[in-house]
Amino acid sequence: MKQDLIVILDLGSTENTVLARQIRDLGVYSEIHPHDITAEELDAFKNVKGIILNGGENRVVDGQSVEVRPELYSLGLPIISVDYPQSKCMTKLDCLPDEETLKQFVFGECKAEANWNMKNFIEDQVELIRKQVGDKKVLLALSGGVDSSVVAAMLIKAIGQQLVCVHVNHGLMRKNESESVVKVFRDELHANLVYVDASDRFLGKLENVADPEQKRKIIGGEFIRVFEEEARKLKGIDFLGQGTIYPDIIESGTKTAKMVKSHHNVGGLPEDLKFELVEPLKQLFKDEVRACGVELGLPHDMVYRQPFPGPGLGVRCLGAITRDRLEAVRESDAILREEFAKAGLDKKVWQYFTVVPDFKSVGMKHNARVFEYMVIIRAINTIDAMTASIEKVDWDVLERITNRILAEVENVNRVCYDMSPKPPATIEFE
Ligand code: XMP
């Protein structure tokens, strides 16, 4: 192993991630694990230099205090306990060791080296993946999103042709998105990639479905069915790669933290399709995942792309999806992205996209009355997607985008700008 490791055991603290990042800021890799980890599991890491028992406000569960396995104390590793649950005057800062104590523990007692960087992280993960997978095969649903792309690149580096990527084009992708996945992964990284064009199938299922929740359910459910069908065709696969990252684990709830929301990447596969999971990014934060992708040689656009919902353009083609409106969303979105990039706004604005409602308005084209769709532009900034404010886009830029949309996108005669913050509006419309 290239990197030393400080293990944080979660004994009910809400500050595990803050502590992990504090240690990583010192240049030492740290991972967060459940309190009931066994000595054997810890030993398997080979590079543990010390353990931090991180207690806190959730330490007492059902009247019982959460404890680690006593065997951990006889491993001969330095252990520090960070726990102030009894302290009445507890403040947030008290929960964490101050930087000097932390440095003394990490470098003084544990004698850890500051050797955490993406190159070493990747080398360690490659070693771990090879050890886990052996000569078996791994299946991966490659959406083209940041997390699945980075996992794919990591697995290709580790096991090459033993990885089978399946890219399902649900027909709700942005312009050229599926093509770019095929170009990068099949042509450039020589991945074993199965490309499934399921556009007609998805659009067929979505016909006349106007309810947003129903649309989302159909898209999610159909995705699992298509993926399952492909998985059944491929024989002899034992592992499933997943782009789980640390925030996903927090959102799904740790053993002591309350569940925020259930999270599934490719959840919902039937019982008889049992895979062991390979999740090499599950200890990384989003910015670290991007850095990892850059180190693995993925294109900048793929690694730094803005968030894109799983149901894709399906939730931006409002109401019952029709092909003409879907095309209007896709083309207007491509124009918006192109013009934002030209104006340098792609690096400044958190998320920007277009939406096409399911009603028409009156207009004039070539001296004749037309009855056509409208495009709504939305551009927002946020830190955590829980609240958002609109980007005050320069009037000239907006006018240029409007003119291009009106000239180049069929069936559109009107462009509007959404001025609503979140709350009360959400970022997406559906
Ligand atoms: P809302 O509309 O809830 O969106 O304000 C917050 C953020 O989440 C994204 N979003 C999704 N992301 N799957 C995803 O992976 C989804 O189903 C989904 N729906 C919304 C949205 O684009 C915004 O960034």
Judged against a pLDDT cut of 70, whether residue 65 lies above it is answered with: yes
Mean pLDDT of 415-423: 98
Q: Is the CB of 212 under 6 A from ligand 1?
A: no
Distance 219 CA to ligand 1 centre (A): 14
Distance 118 CA to ligand 1 centre (A): 28
Which amino acid residue places its CA nearest to atom 24 of ligand 1? 307
User: pTM of the full predicted structure?
Assistant: 0.91
Q: Which of 146, 244, 427, 430 to mutate to test the pocket of ligand 1 (most atoms within 8 A of CB)?
A: 427
Buried b / exposed e across 10-29, counting CB within 10 Å, b at 16+? bbbbbbbeebbebbbebbbb
Judged against a pLDDT cut of 50, whether residue 177 lies above it is answered with: yes
Q: Is the CB of 243 under 6 A from ligand 1?
A: no
Q: How far apart are CA 188 and CA 373, in angstroms?
A: 39
Q: Is the CB of 427 under 6 A from ligand 1?
A: yes
CA-wise closest residue to 51 among 25, 23, 26, 27: 23
Give the nearest ligand 1 atom to 425 CA: 5
CA-wise closest residue to 361 among 422, 416, 323, 311: 416
Residues in the chain: 430
Residue 248 half-sphere exposure toward CB, CA atoms < 13 A: 17
The pLDDT tens digits of the residues spanning 30-46 come to 999 999 999 999 999 99
The pLDDT tens digits of the residues spanning 66-77 come to 899 999 999 999
Q: Is the CB of 306 under 6 A from ligand 1?
A: no
Mean pLDDT of 76-85: 82
**Residue 283 neighbours by CB under 8 Å, 6+ apart:** 31, 32, 246
pLDDT of residue 204: 98
pLDDT of residue 263: 46
